[in-house]
């Protein structure tokens, strides 16, 4: 398949590397300009952002939430047939406070509104380390699962097939409006669950409590700034705070 990726941070870079390894055609761009790709070890072809959207089937946007509006003009030029994937997570300390999200708008609904296009929410509820290192074959026991949400069943299936190919089981978490169940602060977020466990975690999510739990996780890490947390430490802390 032909993919464009806007965003060469940890998630965008890992996805591109895994897709290239599987034989897909990948173009990767930085929304701030080509100069921000210099010196990075990237898979796929580094291109200007306006070229990342040409002749593709899937566009993966992996940017901080606050940067999403900056690419609206680019997205206006994306073909209607292209599946657009949003991997972002909203963190007020990084993204500044976004009033609509603070007032309860689902993060990816806000993203979709900013882009003026439907999106599929995926690749947001696993840590970068998990995405890079914990994928396994389809027949593996205890395979980690990823949540995928969106309004278009055909587009969602395309993304679910990609997730499965990259080594993870998939749980259809519903419409884009339901994607709050996989946002930061919920039991589904960065807790490395199997398909059955993730299904239960999505149902267990509490929309009002999620921002408080999200901030509690950040506070815990901030208080231990001199401690070097392992990947498992991060997962276990998330599980503890989210009562798993």
- The three-state DSSP-derived secondary structure of the chain is CEEEEECCCHHHHHHHHHHHHCCCEEEEECCCCHHHHCCCCCCCEECCHHHHCCCCCEEEECCCHHHHHHHHHHHCCCCCCCEEEECCCCCHHHHCCCHHHHCCCCHHHHHHHHHCCCCEECCCCCCHHHHHHCCCCCCCCCCEEEEEECCCHHHHHHHHHHHHHCCCEEEECCCHHHHHHHCCCCCCCCCCCEHHHHHHHHHHCCCCCHHHHHHHHHHHHHHCCCCCCCHHHHHHHHHHHCCC
pLDDT in tens, 168-181: 999 999 999 999 99
**CA–CA gap between residue 86 and residue 88 (Å, rounded):** 6
Assigned domain for 131 exists: no
In a domain, 134, yes or no: no
In terms of domains, do 29 and 112 share one? yes
Does a structural domain hold residue 132? no
Among 56, 192, 91, 214, which residue's Cα sits nearest to residue 136?
Answer: 192
Q: Which residue range(s) make up the domain with 231?
A: 143-154+166-244
- Residue 137 counted as domain residue: no
Same domain (yes/no): 178, 226? yes
Output the CA torsion sign for 166, 172, 175, 179: negative
Whether residue 93 is found in the same domain as residue 186: no
Tell me whether residue 159 is in a domain. no
On whether residue 123 sits in a domain, the answer given is no
pLDDT beneath 50, residues of the chain = none
| Domains identified in the chain, total number | 2
pLDDT at 38: 84
How much is the pTM? 0.96
111 shares its domain with 181:
no
In a domain, 26, yes or no: yes
Tell me the two tokens of residue 74. 């680019």
At residue 228, the pLDDT reads 82
What tens digit of pLDDT does each residue of 112-164 get? 999 999 999 999 999 999 999 999 999 999 999 999 999 999 999 999 999 99
pLDDT of residue 86: 98
């Amino acid at each position: 398949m032909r993919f464009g990726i806007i965003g060469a941070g940890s998630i965008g870079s890992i996805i591109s590397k895994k897709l290239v390894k599987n034989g897909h055609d990948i173009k990767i761009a930085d929304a701030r300009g080509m100069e921000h790709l210099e010196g990075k070890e990237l898979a796929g072809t580094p291109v200007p952002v306006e070229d990342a959207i040409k002749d593709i089937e899937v566009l993966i946007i992996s940017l901080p939430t606050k940067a999403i509006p900056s690419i609206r003009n680019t997205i206006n030029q994306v073909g209607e047939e292209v599946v657009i994937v949003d991997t972002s997570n909203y963190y007020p300390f990084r993204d500044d406070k976004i009033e609509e999200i603070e007032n309860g708008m689902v993060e990816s609904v806000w993203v979709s509104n900013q882009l003026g296009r439907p999106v599929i929410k995926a690749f947001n509820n696993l840590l970068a380390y998990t995405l890079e290192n914990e994928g396994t074959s389809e027949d593996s026991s205890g395979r980690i699962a990823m949540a995928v949400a969106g309004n278009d069943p055909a587009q969602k299936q395309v993304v679910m097939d990609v997730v499965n190919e990259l080594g993870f089981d998939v749980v259809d978490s519903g419409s884009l409006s339901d994607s709050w169940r996989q946002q930061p602060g919920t039991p589904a977020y960065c807790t490395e669950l199997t398909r059955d466990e993730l299904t239960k975690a999505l149902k267990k999510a509490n929309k009002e409590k999620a921002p408080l739990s999200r901030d509690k996780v950040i506070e815990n890490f901030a208080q231990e700034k001199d401690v070097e947390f392992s990947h498992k430490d991060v997962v276990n802390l998330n599980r503890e705070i989210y009562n798993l």
